[in-house]
Structure 1
Amino acid sequence: MSRPPGANAELALLLELSGTPKPGNVDRQREYADLTFEQFLAGAVGARAGLDDAADGAAVGDAFETAVAGMARQDGGNTQFGALLLLTPLVRAAATDRLTPDGAAAVVDETTVDDAAGFYRAFDHVDVFVDEPPDSMDDLDVRRGSDAVPALRERGLTLADVMAASAPADGVAAEWTAGFERTFAAAASLLDADGPLSERVPTVFLDLLAAEPDSLIAKRHGESVAAEVTERAAELQGADPEAVTEWADELVADGINPGTTADVTAAALFVALERGLAV
């Protein structure tokens, strides 16, 4: 019996977490002092209600806020904000038989100012690392959360507009504006690969990291560090697993977290599950 989209989205978050090694990210073998494996498990389970809402026809922004509020009911803070931002429209697309790049793009195009307000309200529930906005956009700083909604409404910005403005510097927003291109390509890789899923997930993660600098690393540590991480990931493609494991430990020790890459991996797992990935 097939699982409903909300269940597959929850499972995708859990499968992303269980894959190891994913250099720099929390997984079943490594974690940060202030962000643990168990907190990620709780975040995935807590997000389920919002993911189900997205499948059942709730507004995308409202469903996302509900998912984030549920995710935040653990002691670690932000565990899967970016992944949920990718999964929410994909779940809606799947529930309406449109889980294709064009179908997901249509879901994005259908978003409204109310959806953007829901996105902003999600920041009331959890702290998310974001760049300082330009002075001209200070009234739309997402860290203001619901306090920024009046300015958002005055400007008439939809959630698609908000993502388009963020896309040049944010890999998750870029997926929204590009038909979830990397997500669908990674899903195809997961489906085409052989071997246990526990090996396919870290391979796809490393391939994504080798193909494009991680935007979260760039924001936190600078573009040069992000480029260095991508270069090293490319060098380790197909390498001895022990070398990848050693590098994973080094990145965690240095606090370098390719979180955007993990978000895309989770979204790709959802698409693959919806397309028949057996678990």
Structure 2
Amino acid sequence: MASRETIRAAYEDACRQEVEALKPGNVHLFADGHRMTVQEFLTSAKVSAAPLTDPSLPLGRRILEAVRATRAAVDTNTNLGIILLCGPLAAAAAMDGANLCENLNRVLQKIDLDDTAAVFEAIVRASPGGLGSASEHDVREAPTVGLLEAMGEAADRDRIARQYVTGFADIFDLGLPALEAAIERGETGMWPAVHAYLEFLTAFPDSHVQRKFDLEEAEQVRDEARSVRAEFALAQNDEQRVVVLMDFDARLKAQGINPGTSADLTVACLLVHNLGVRLARALG
């Protein structure tokens, strides 16, 4: 079981590490974008950390209060996906038992209608780009089913929703192995996070891009990302890597394309990794 202070620090570090990493199409230290700045993301992480790790709050309220705090501080949706992913992970890390995946499944199975209503309200308050009405389980209406069922209905078109019904499989089976393999190879600084991001960006169409544009556009971004990743792998040094990624970044931002889901998933990977490192230090 991790302390609240440990979880909060791991969360804030994950948010900082993600925004410091050069993630083409998203906001990062090398370039702002989409009328958002690095400082807004850092502020969002700081103000959302307290409610997201508050042990006195049920999961739904943690998510809702984190969104409220963010909107009050920056008045834009910088982190809804991050909050939806990191809320359950933070709750799981605070539970007894060393297996984060088992704890996470316990957290997800305990979600009730009150949690669901709070999460629906959080989504509406955040006003994510491309949010439209749904034929079933519309977040603008009072929930009639639990959050897992609602997320299951959206899982084919929303990769964050998909995590709730797969035990966060993309985090544990795709992104985290890519991040930790990069660390094992000796990658430092922002590069492990970049590798995790590219793993997501090339594995499936980014659902944020799909929601704002369409599936065809999201698939085109994925296919271009695969070519960029191959070029990135051939770069002889970090300077060449930066050039490859910045060229892609400029092309995406010129078209208003923001693969935000891949960035959100990257934060969740960093949180899981950071929790493991911090707990190992505490036990060591």
Asked if TM exceeds 0.5, the reply is yes
Query: How far apart in 1 are the matches of 2:14 and 2:163?
Result: 17
Is the 2:34–2:253 contact (alpha carbons within 8 Å) kept by the matching residues of 1?
Answer: no
Equivalent residue number for residue 197 of structure 1: 189
Is the 1:43–1:73 contact (alpha carbons within 8 Å) kept by the matching residues of 2?
Answer: no
Q: Return the offset for 1:124.
A: 5.0
TM-score (norm 2): 0.86
Q: Return the offset for 1:33.
A: 5.3
Q: Which structure 2 residues correspond to residues 29-44 of structure 1 after superposition, within 5 A?
A: 29-32=30-33, 34-44=35-45
Query: How far apart in 2 are the matches of 1:69 and 1:63?
Result: 10
Equivalent residue number for residue 230 of structure 1: 222
Specify the code of the residue in structure 2 equivalent to 1:211.
A
TM-score (norm 1): 0.87
Is the 1:86–1:267 contact (alpha carbons within 8 Å) kept by the matching residues of 2?
Answer: yes
Specify the code of the residue in structure 1 equivalent to 2:138.
D
Specify the code of the residue in structure 1 equivalent to 2:220.
E
Equivalent residue number for residue 129 of structure 1: 129
Paired-residue identity, %: 28
Is the 2:53–2:87 contact (alpha carbons within 8 Å) kept by the matching residues of 1?
Answer: no
Is the 2:8–2:53 contact (alpha carbons within 8 Å) kept by the matching residues of 1?
Answer: yes
Equivalent residue number for residue 72 of structure 2: 73
Matched, 1:164 2:156: no
Report SS of the residue matched to 1:125.
Answer: helix
Q: Return the offset for 1:206.
A: 1.0
Q: Return the offset for 1:106.
A: 2.3
Q: Which structure 2 residues correspond to residues 35-74 of structure 1 after superposition, within 5 A?
A: 35-53=36-54, 56-74=55-73
Query: How far apart in 2 are the matches of 1:10 and 1:31?
Result: 19
**1:25-60 Cα shifts (integer Å, max 9, x gaps):** 00011112521111111111110112221xx25211
Q: Return the offset for 1:98.
A: 5.7
Specify the code of the residue in structure 2 equivalent to 1:141.
D
Equivalent residue number for residue 238 of structure 2: none
Q: Return the offset for 1:141.
A: 2.6
**1:43-90 Cα shifts (integer Å, max 9, x gaps):** 11110112221xx25211001011111122233500010011000001
Report SS of the residue matched to 1:65.
Answer: helix
Specify the code of the residue in structure 1 equivalent to 2:158.
D
Specify the code of the residue in structure 1 equivalent to 2:17.
L
Query: How far apart in 2 are the matches of 1:268 and 1:57?
Result: 25
Where does structure 2 lack aligned partners over 5 or more consecutive residues?
Answer: 236-240
Q: Decide whether aligned partners of structure 1 residues 175 and 233 sit closer, same or farther in structure 2, where only a CA change above 3 A counts.
A: same
Q: Return the offset for 1:222.
A: 1.1
Q: Of 138, 142, 153, which aligns to 1:141?
A: 138
Q: Of 184, 187, 190, which aligns to 2:176?
A: 187
Q: Decide whether aligned partners of structure 1 residues 115 and 98 sit closer, same or farther in structure 2, where only a CA change above 3 A counts.
A: farther
Where does structure 1 lack aligned partners over 5 or more consecutive residues?
Answer: none
Is the 1:8–1:270 contact (alpha carbons within 8 Å) kept by the matching residues of 2?
Answer: yes
Matched, 1:106 2:94: no
Specify the code of the residue in structure 1 equivalent to 2:106.
A
Query: How far apart in 1 are the matches of 2:187 and 2:260?
Result: 25
Is the 1:101–1:181 contact (alpha carbons within 8 Å) kept by the matching residues of 2?
Answer: no
Query: How far apart in 1 are the matches of 2:71 and 2:30?
Result: 22
Matched, 1:4 2:6: yes
Query: How far apart in 2 are the matches of 1:263 and 1:201?
Result: 11
Is the 1:183–1:267 contact (alpha carbons within 8 Å) kept by the matching residues of 2?
Answer: yes
Equivalent residue number for residue 163 of structure 2: 175
